[in-house]
Amino acid sequence: MNPNQTKNDAITRQEDDFAQWYTDVCKKAELMDYSSVKGFIVYLPYGYAIWEEIQNYCNKKFKEKGAQNVYLPLVIPQSLFATEKEHVEGFAPECLVATIGGGQQLADPLIIRPTSEILFSELYRKRVNSYRDLPMKYNQWCSVVRWEKTTRPFLRGSEFLWQEGHCLFETEEQARDDAMTMLEVYDSIGYDLLAVPFVKGQKTEHEKFAGAVATYSIEALMPDGKALQSGTTHYLGTGFAKAADIQFLGRSQKRETPHQTSWGVSTRLLGAVIMVHGDDNGLVLPPRVAPIQTVIIPIRGDKVPAVMEECERIQKELTALGVRAKIDDSDHTPGWKFAEWEMKGVPLRIEVGPRDLENGLISLSKRYNGEKLTVGLSAVHEIPEVLEKIQAEMLEKAKNYLKAHIREAHSWEELKAILDEGGYAKMMWHEDEELEMKVKEYTNGGTARCLPFNEEPFGDTCPLDGKPADRVVYFAKAY
Amino acid sequence: MNPNQTKNDAITRQEDDFAQWYTDVCKKAELMDYSSVKGFIVYLPYGYAIWEEIQNYCNKKFKEKGAQNVYLPLVIPQSLFATEKEHVEGFAPECLVATIGGGQQLADPLIIRPTSEILFSELYRKRVNSYRDLPMKYNQWCSVVRWEKTTRPFLRGSEFLWQEGHCLFETEEQARDDAMTMLEVYDSIGYDLLAVPFVKGQKTEHEKFAGAVATYSIEALMPDGKALQSGTTHYLGTGFAKAADIQFLGRSQKRETPHQTSWGVSTRLLGAVIMVHGDDNGLVLPPRVAPIQTVIIPIRGDKVPAVMEECERIQKELTALGVRAKIDDSDHTPGWKFAEWEMKGVPLRIEVGPRDLENGLISLSKRYNGEKLTVGLSAVHEIPEVLEKIQAEMLEKAKNYLKAHIREAHSWEELKAILDEGGYAKMMWHEDEELEMKVKEYTNGGTARCLPFNEEPFGDTCPLDGKPADRVVYFAKAY
């Protein structure tokens, strides 16, 4: 008998309906709930705790790179928002606008921030005087609002949580370096924390951020073959600085315009973790990001005091070792508990039962591959190592999946076939916005995800129009 | 010569204009900046870092009390907001309302949250089924918007940062306990972290939160004699739960309505720290909440390599001891640096100069009382202790000030005189909203701050109208 029976029924199988599976997991693992406003979700404790782990990791890394946390206003006056032309054209259609304050019509309506380039530029104008003030690297954790028609938990919402870094530099080189450095930091979130490998690269002109000179992104690959843009960094050039009239006294005593960057990751990263690792029994969390790393299940703990004592001893030992461990002493059956914590993706389960205990044994069960071990009680001190091994194996598995789903396309037909099957079509490329739109139509939604770094050209012409091509591009369908 | 000369000029003296002194310190110590929207401020790195210290302290305490962090939507549909009558009447006049989303007029306008009782109630209705689900204790860190006509940095803003805890309990007793428990937690922020002593008590009917059965508060006393409400907890009864139709299956298998609490502290706490400890040279921070606890100033460090080496050695030793230490190796003069870090309120300054160094000596200077010591290099390892002593002395000083400014009032005239001089007027009292309004008019703004706990009655009649009185009240003018 499968002890997961009851719980499994609660989750649609991936192969039956992947989108429904995803929504089921988000809801049933209690990561989020819907609110009474369409597209605005509630981050429940279990989901929010994962976000807090990501925040802790990022805050440490950002600080190492010299960024400082700040908080800027929630609203941008409409008149101010209009100052950077491409930017406003990009964002205006999805703005939420406040028009009434304290019972009065506002003369200048207030846009709820969809992103804060404009506000940071306003701030920098006041704070930067000399090259000695540069670089200035500020970061903000907040929510932003973008009015969306179709929304999905963590992936696309009318409100989402993110961080936005905004930096100012003396030279173009420094700013371009920063955009690349922060992309590396974002990449490390995947490697160090989420066990999610990313493809890194530059966005095409067609796909770049509204107002940027260059946009870079990390892209994760989901098991349904679709890419998920998981973080972006932008070299903004001097456009926003000029629009906001930011100048500084340079080393040669002349007024100069600083170069700007911005960079952000959002709660989309939760979506990546859920999809990359999840299975038909629910969530599967990599240990480093799991709010509960080990769950301890007493078997007949209500009847046998020694069982509960041992569970408490183990929890204490694990806590001292820095492991986030929880005992489930609720009055549910062990089978129910197994299914519950499997659904919640806890990386490691420890079962403590009266019979095993007599022999000085406990059972370990790894969530990600179902492996079960019976070990001696003294093995508890090895659990941090076990968790690290799980983390490494989950990353390896995800890397293999990614590698297997990057395939060369040498014709329109191959491109379409790869995108239909799922994964990245790797192709020789030249900048051509019209061609990108043709691909989107022909492949029913395929977009240029990025021009990946460190990819050797494998030809010199574009297979789609025969024109000279010197860059490698990855196309995919995407969230 | 006073090395602070240049900097002092930047700050108005407290006795000349206390309000202007406050604004000067906020700006010149780079805690905040104004934005292009009236009443919406920018939290700069130095101010935000203090808030992060408060967040860290609270998150630990809240977790100990069983609260979990969540995040709820930024907006509340107007139709939903109207469900709790007293609540909506209290907040409607200060709401910011969004009426346009994605270019379309919204059928149901969205209120930018001024507080989230309504949204939490909506959420709880879906999540609570049985007494087994209770208590449910959620907390959220976010910003809220209340459209204000007159604003002051950290004290009153159209947007401010805060946390709001919202909890649901099986019984009235548990909920009332929670309101008191969390008030104790808030009180401990003052004792443990900010060196700010609070008066604790219950609000009068007239002053309580819109929609609450009982409101409790912590009130700090500012050097201008005005009280600053610094945190509140509310026992909400069953009003919100009934309005939102929250019910649970009780122990006796009957449907019951849960009892609710909410509690919050905000960036007002920064205002309290600034005013309680600050002086004419600027900010004075208690060590535990100071982003930089010790600043190390090299004297002639550019000329004498041994000085810089010693500074770096000291910083390393302090960091290893858990002290947040910074070397100022900028090219300003020592005098400029002294004034700069005094203005920023760094609790302890270490000067390392070539002559002292030859004798194995360094100079320490305590910000809060100006005390200077010359000590041997080996004293560096005692600095954590020195900082703790400063913390304790700053608290003691603030407690003495508070104690000296609580005085009994036995007549209308005494009440007015005490409030004009500044501080709390302590008086025998009975609930009477009209009398509170009369006091406000007669004293030009005095309000009942709270009915303090643990205060022995010192009479049995109200000195204002001669009616029977069984409670002690504190009146004061307030921010």
| ipTM for the predicted complex | 0.95
- What does each C-alpha distance from B435 to A466, B45, B452 come to in angstroms? 88, 45, 19
| pLDDT confidence tier of residue A3, bands split at 50, 70 and 90 | very low
Q: Is A162 in contact with A144 (CB distance < 8 Å)?
A: yes
Q: Give DSSP secondary structure letters for B299-313.
A: SSTTT-HHHHHHHHH
- Please give the residue of chain A at the shortest CA–CA distance from B102: A94
Q: Which tokens in the block code for residue B452?
A: 């303090």
Neighbour-count burial of B414, counting CB atoms closer than 10 A to its CB (0-12 exposed, 13-18 middle, 19+ buried): middle
Contact partners, residue B333, CB within 8 Å, separation at least 6: none
Neighbours of B48 (CB within 10 A): 24
Asked whether the predicted pLDDT for residue A173 surpasses 90, the reply is: yes
Q: How far apart are the C-alpha atoms of B116 and B95, rounded to whole Å? A: 13
8 Å CB contact of A95 and B77: no
List CB contacts (< 8 A) between B45 and chain A: 68-70, 138
Closest CA to B463 of B401, B415, B397: B415
For residue B364, list its beta bridge partners: B350, B373
8 Å CB contact of A74 and B36: no
8 Å CB contact of B45 and A70: yes
- What does each C-alpha distance from B199 to B203, B462, B475 come to in angstroms? 12, 21, 12
Q: Which tokens in the block code for residue B332?
A: 């300003």
Asked whether the predicted pLDDT for residue A8 surpasses 70, the reply is: no
| pLDDT confidence tier of residue A84, bands split at 50, 70 and 90 | confident
Q: What burial letters (b/e) apply to B60-85, b meaning 16+ CB within 10 Å?
A: ebbeeeebbbbbbbbbbbbebbbbbe
Q: Is B26 in contact with B50 (CB distance < 8 Å)?
A: no
Q: Which tokens in the block code for residue A411?
A: 């014709």
Q: How far apart are the C-alpha atoms of B293 and B323, rounded to whole Å? A: 7
Asked whether the predicted pLDDT for residue A2 surpasses 60, the reply is: no
Amino acid found at A38: K
Closest CA to A116 of A204, A240, A259, A247: A240
Average pLDDT estimate for B183-195 = 98
Q: Is A212 in contact with A235 (CB distance < 8 Å)?
A: yes
Q: How far apart are the C-alpha atoms of B352 and B342, rounded to whole Å? A: 17
Among A119-123, A386-390, B85-89, B302-306, the minimum mean pLDDT is found in: B85-89
Query: How distant is the alpha carbon of residue A299 from its chain centre?
Result: 37
- Please give the residue of chain A at the shortest CA–CA distance from B27: A127
A253 phi, psi to nearest 5 deg: 65, 20
Among A152-166, B2-16, B205-219, the minimum mean pLDDT is found in: B2-16
8 Å CB contact of B98 and A97: yes
The DSSP code for A132 is G
Q: How far apart are the C-alpha atoms of B439 and B428, rounded to whole Å? A: 14
Asked whether the predicted pLDDT for residue A452 surpasses 90, the reply is: yes
8 Å CB contact of B96 and A77: no
Amino acid found at B64: E
Q: Is B274 in contact with B328 (CB distance < 8 Å)?
A: no
Residue B3 pLDDT: 41
8 Å CB contact of B49 and A69: yes
Residue B8 pLDDT: 57
Asked whether the predicted pLDDT for residue A7 surpasses 80, the reply is: no
Q: Is B224 in contact with B195 (CB distance < 8 Å)?
A: no
Interface test with B, best of A28, A38, A40, A81 (most B CBs within 10 A): A40
Q: Which tokens in the block code for residue B234?
A: 């509310």
Residue A1 pLDDT: 35
Average pLDDT estimate for B251-276 = 97
Asked whether the predicted pLDDT for residue A189 surpasses 60, the reply is: yes
A292 phi, psi to nearest 5 deg: -120, 120
Residue A121 pLDDT: 93
Interface test with B, best of A112, A118, A120, A131 (most B CBs within 10 A): A112
Residue B291 pLDDT: 97
Q: Is B4 in contact with B338 (CB distance < 8 Å)?
A: yes
Write the residue in A44, A93, A142 that is nearest to B103 by C-beta: A93
Per-residue model confidence as pLDDT tens digits over A363-419: 999 999 999 999 999 999 999 999 999 999 999 999 999 999 999 999 999 999 999
List CB contacts (< 8 A) between A119 and chain B: 35-36
Write out B93-156 in H/E/C secondary structure: HHCEEEEEECCEEEEEEEEECCCCHHHHHHHHHHHCCEHHHCCEEEEEEEEEECCCCCCECCCE
Neighbours of B28 (CB within 10 A): 16
Residue B4 pLDDT: 41
Q: How many residues does chain A have?
A: 479
B77 to chain A, minimum CA–CA distance in Å?
Answer: 7
8 Å CB contact of B52 and A41: no
B353 to chain A, minimum CA–CA distance in Å?
Answer: 25
Average pLDDT estimate for A225-254 = 96
Average pLDDT estimate for B110-129 = 95
Instruction: Count how many pairs of residues, chain A against chain B, have C-beta atoms within 8 Å.
Output: 160
Residue with tokens 């000329």: B303
8 Å CB contact of B35 and A72: yes
Residue B254 pLDDT: 97
Amino acid found at A436: E
Residue with tokens 């408490």: A312
Per-residue model confidence as pLDDT tens digits over A339-370: 999 999 999 999 999 999 999 999 999 999 99
Please compute Rg for chain B using Cα positions.
25
8 Å CB contact of A99 and B102: no
B92 to chain A, minimum CA–CA distance in Å?
Answer: 8
8 Å CB contact of A95 and B72: no
**What's the pTM?**
0.95
**Beta-strand relationship, A372-376 and A361-366:** antiparallel
Axis-axis angle for helices B18-28, B268-277 (nearest 10): 110
Residue with tokens 């990108």: A436
Closest CA to A353 of A341, A365, A368: A365
Closest CA to A307 of A348, A349, A362: A362
List CB contacts (< 8 A) between B99 and chain A: 97-100
Write the residue in B70, B101, B143 that is nearest to A48 by C-beta: B70
Residue A454 pLDDT: 86
- Please give the residue of chain A at the shortest CA–CA distance from B77: A37
List CB contacts (< 8 A) between A102 and chain B: 93-96, 147-149
8 Å CB contact of A36 and B70: no
Neighbours of B91 (CB within 10 A): 21
Residue B88 pLDDT: 83
Percent of chain B, pLDDT > 90?
A: 93
Q: What burial letters (b/e) apply to A388-404, b meaning 16+ CB within 10 Å?
A: eebbebbbebbeeebee
Average pLDDT estimate for A266-279 = 98
List CB contacts (< 8 A) between A156 and chain B: none
A111 to chain B, minimum CA–CA distance in Å?
Answer: 9
Contact partners, residue B441, CB within 8 Å, separation at least 6: none
Average pLDDT estimate for B77-99 = 88
Q: Give DSSP secondary structure letters for A313-379.
A: HHHHHHHHTT--EEE--SSS-HHHHHHHHHHTT-SEEEEE-HHHHHTTEEEEEETTT--EEEEEGGG
Average pLDDT estimate for A270-288 = 98
Q: Is B262 in contact with B237 (CB distance < 8 Å)?
A: no
Asked whether the predicted pLDDT for residue B91 surpasses 90, the reply is: no
Q: Is B151 in contact with B157 (CB distance < 8 Å)?
A: yes
Residue B92 pLDDT: 84
Query: How distant is the alpha carbon of residue A137 from its chain centre?
Result: 22
Q: Which tokens in the block code for residue A188?
A: 């490390």
Residue B2 pLDDT: 41
Interface test with B, best of A34, A44, A319 (most B CBs within 10 A): A44
Q: How far apart are the C-alpha atoms of A136 and A115, rounded to whole Å? A: 18
Per-residue model confidence as pLDDT tens digits over B406-451: 999 999 999 999 999 999 999 999 999 999 999 999 999 999 999 9
8 Å CB contact of A102 and B93: yes
Average pLDDT estimate for A186-211 = 96
Average pLDDT estimate for B289-296 = 98
Residue with tokens 């002292």: B356
Average pLDDT estimate for B150-154 = 95
Q: How far apart are the C-alpha atoms of A187 and A216, rounded to whole Å? A: 11
Write the residue in A41, A98, A149 that is nearest to B96 by C-beta: A98
A69 phi, psi to nearest 5 deg: -80, 140
List CB contacts (< 8 A) between B326 and chain A: none
Per-residue model confidence as pLDDT tens digits over B15-73: 999 999 999 999 999 999 999 899 999 999 999 999 999 999 999 999 999 999 999 99
